[in-house]
Amino acid sequence: MEALELAVGLLFLALVFWDVFETIVVPRPTPGRFRLSRYLVRSAWRGARATVGAEVGATRDRLLGLFAPAATVLLLVAWLAGLVLAYGLILFALRAELQPAPGDLGTALYFAASSILTLGFGDIVAIGSPARIVVVAAAASGLGIVALVVTFLFSLFGSYQRREVSVVTLQAKAGVPPSAVVLLEALARMDLVARLPEFFGDWERWAAEVLDSHVAYPLLGYFRSSHDNLSWISALGTVLDAASLVLTTILDVPRGQAELMKGVGSHLVEDITSLGFRSGGSVGIDRPAFDSVYVRLLDAGYRLVPTDEAWDDFSAARATYAPGLEAMANYWAVPSPSWFGGSEPLRSPTHRQSDEAEASSDDRGSQAT
């Protein structure tokens, strides 16, 4: 019986150490069959989504926004509980080397918990060498896991903040929710079309960093934007749509950087969805919607490829990433990539004043007639 308890305790201990090592220490995708955290986080996410329901609203977003930080704390609690169970079984198997000897498993678990949390009440003392080694290892394990989780949390926050800076600043050009057509209209209005290659270069680097961090630490995907109607997924979709329009529809704009951005962005979508973060299907863009955007781009001053040719090329280009983006947005319950956009992008006081002056002039002209 003691051999069985020892074997089960060592097995639990190995599972916890393996999970902590793969989740925090190894900065790359890892197999999930023996990963306790993978099942815990995904099951908790399904429960959280079922609890808040499907209705869209600020309260729902606020509650889901608590999930990622809470999941990190949940992982710490689960790992500590796993250590308590593992060391409790091992110490119960070595109870002859404890003074007084635990009369049941519950007492051994209590001694394991006090050792892991370094409480040191002294009501139970290890008198044999194997038991002393186990107690010291338990104390070191508890302190080590707490330190690793705290460091992990700061690393997650750092990656999250770097991700969100570009997402938030995009709304100044692309509106809320962000849209490729609003973005391109705004750049044409502000005479910034020549800076599109620089813009795509910045987002290529953003996509590469998000790819590296979110594949290595998938918990980052659960961190939501602090702003309504914004998400890193919709921002990525907006920039990918803009790059696809430049590659297939818009003339007289350098296409090299747009192609690089689309390649890295599509790779990001493919890798994230391959990890299982997907749900539902894709709505897609129909021809009338594209024709409407085509007219808006003409009105903005762009020179365009003939409509039929542009539609065929654009629909083929968008098919490489749009279904994955929609599936990711459905899984994480965030705004999907927008096509027509929502509100106007942020505009400077000078633009607003000139618009108001024009409107006032129009009003006076209409009154005069």
> What pLDDT, in 10s, does the model give residues 165-210?
999 999 888 888 899 999 999 999 999 999 999 999 999 999 999 9
Indicate the pTM of the whole model: 0.83
List the structure tokens of 340: 């027509």
Look at 186-200, 219-233, 237-251 and tell me which has the smallest mean pLDDT: 219-233
Q: Side chain identity at 269, as an amino acid letter?
A: V
Phi, psi of 33 (to 5 degrees): -65, -40
Angle made by CA atoms 158, 162, 167, in degrees to the nearest 5: 140
**From CA 277, how far away is CA 220, in angstroms rounded?**
12
- Model confidence over 125-158: pLDDT tens digits? 889 899 999 999 999 999 999 999 999 999 999 9
pLDDT of residue 54: 65
Burial of 208 (0-12, 13-18, 19+ CB in 10 A): middle
pLDDT of residue 303: 94
pLDDT of residue 51: 86
Task: Give percent of the chain above pLDDT 90.
Answer: 59
Whether the pLDDT of residue 95 is over 60: the answer is yes
